[in-house]
């Protein structure tokens, strides 16, 4: 694992972007009210990733799925109850999203240090950044000051999260609806350099797509049969599943993207040149990924007196 201390390099351009993109959010939001919050989050993420390296990818995905539904408001963390329908059982999330217990543990530690001060939404944003860094990826300055939603939107989770079967135009449109352009999308897709996917999400690709390396397809078919085995896992990056790097883009150039939506980024379309650039220049990918993460983390935050600061991330106060 790369040195955590050495990896936490903050690019000045990212710091400026974090400060300016949403005037109501600030990296220093908790400087006087909970000055140790980032260290608390970091310590817990170190332990979580040491125990399960996959957890870095899981928390990153959890943050992405939160931000794409009604903004980065921790609605993704809310449990279903007899009178409340959350987002956890939406089709893209059911039996798929992970890491809730890690956020619970961090929240408990933060509450002990700074009661009723730090939102679950901000904890998730910090944890996602730290997970990337722990797996060798870039750092960025996280703008803070989000508040937690009192509601969730399962319908939006079913309809607005990008599908693994989507084509390039659908991907571009879906990201544009969230204020993210095609270049942001291609950089953020690089998060698939870590983590795994279930068989049902890539079955059609390995059996039906023609723009796929035949040896790669055969390897994936060995654990993803034509029928059954829906939850069998395969790494999104066949080279370095638990290392955050630019191998994802190199895989695309050799037609070894696991998901149909992955390979759409390098299939004779508008993003081919950027995929080539990232495959050859890891530093460029890291810079653009960090900037895109800051931009995504600023999707429709609740601030001021909107929402609340949950005491338990799973339920509204």
Binding residues for substrate: 162
DSSP classification of residue 10: P
What stretches of the chain adopt beta strand conformation (E)?
Answer: 196-198, 233-235
DSSP classification of residue 53: T
Contact predicate 175/184, CB 8 Å = yes
Contact predicate 60/125, CB 8 Å = no
Q: Which residues are annotated as a binding site for heme b?
A: 192
Residues with Cβ within 8 Å of 193's Cβ and at least 6 positions away in sequence, in order, are: 236, 237, 240, 243, 244, 245, 246, 247, 248
Which tokens belong to 290? 């960090």
Determine which one of 61, 65, 178, 314 is catalytic: 65
Q: Which residues are annotated as a binding site?
A: 66, 69, 71, 73, 75, 87, 162, 192-193, 237, 240, 245
Q: Which of 141, 98, 112 is nearest to 40 (CA)?
A: 112
Contact predicate 270/168, CB 8 Å = yes
- The rounded distance, in Å, linking the Cα atoms of 128 and 143 is 13
Q: Which of 247, 6, 242, 232 is nearest to 135 (CA)?
A: 242
What φ, ψ does residue 26 adopt, rounded to 5°?
-150, 140
Residue holding tokens 């974090």? 18
Q: Which residues are annotated as a binding site for Ca(2+)?
A: 66, 69, 71, 73, 75, 87, 193, 237, 240, 245
What stretches of 224-305 adopt beta strand conformation (E)?
Answer: 233-235
65 tagged catalytic: yes
Catalytic residue IDs: 65
């Amino acid at each position: 694992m790369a040195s955590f201390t050495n990896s936490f390099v903050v690019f000045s351009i990212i710091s400026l972007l974090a400060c300016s993109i949403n005037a109501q959010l600030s990296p220093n939001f908790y400087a006087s009210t909970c000055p140790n919050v980032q260290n608390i989050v970091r310590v817990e993420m170190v332990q979580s990733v040491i125990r399960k390296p996959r957890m870095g990818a899981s928390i990153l995905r959890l943050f992405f799925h939160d931000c794409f539904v009604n903004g980065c408001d921790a609605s993704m963390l809310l449990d279903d109850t007899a009178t409340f329908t959350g987002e956890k059982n939406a089709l893209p999330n059911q039996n798929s999203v992970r890491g809730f217990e890690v956020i619970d543990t961090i929240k408990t530690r933060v509450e002990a240090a700074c009661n009723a001060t730090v939102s679950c939404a901000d904890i998730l944003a910090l944890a996602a950044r730290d997970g990337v860094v722990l797996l060798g990826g870039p750092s960025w300055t996280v703008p803070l000051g989000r508040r937690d939603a009192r509601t969730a939107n399962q319908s939006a989770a079913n309809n607005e999260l990008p599908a693994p079967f989507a084509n390039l135009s659908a991907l571009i449109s879906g990201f544009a609806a969230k204020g993210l352009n095609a270049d942001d999308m291609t950089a953020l897709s690089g998060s698939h350099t870590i983590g795994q996917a279930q068989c049902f999400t890539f079955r059609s690709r390995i059996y039906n797509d023609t723009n796929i390396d035949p040896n790669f397809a055969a390897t994936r078919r060995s654990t993803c049969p034509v029928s059954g085995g829906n939850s069998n896992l395969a790494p999104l990056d066949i080279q370095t599943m638990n290392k955050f790097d630019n191998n994802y883009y190199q895989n695309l150039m050799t037609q070894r993207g696991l998901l149909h939506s992955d390979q759409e980024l390098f299939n004779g379309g508008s993003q081919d040149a950027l995929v080539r650039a990232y495959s050859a220049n890891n530093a460029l990918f890291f810079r653009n990924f960090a900037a895109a993460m800051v931009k995504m983390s600023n999707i429709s935050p609740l601030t001021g007196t909107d929402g609340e600061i949950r005491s338990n991330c799973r339920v509204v106060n």
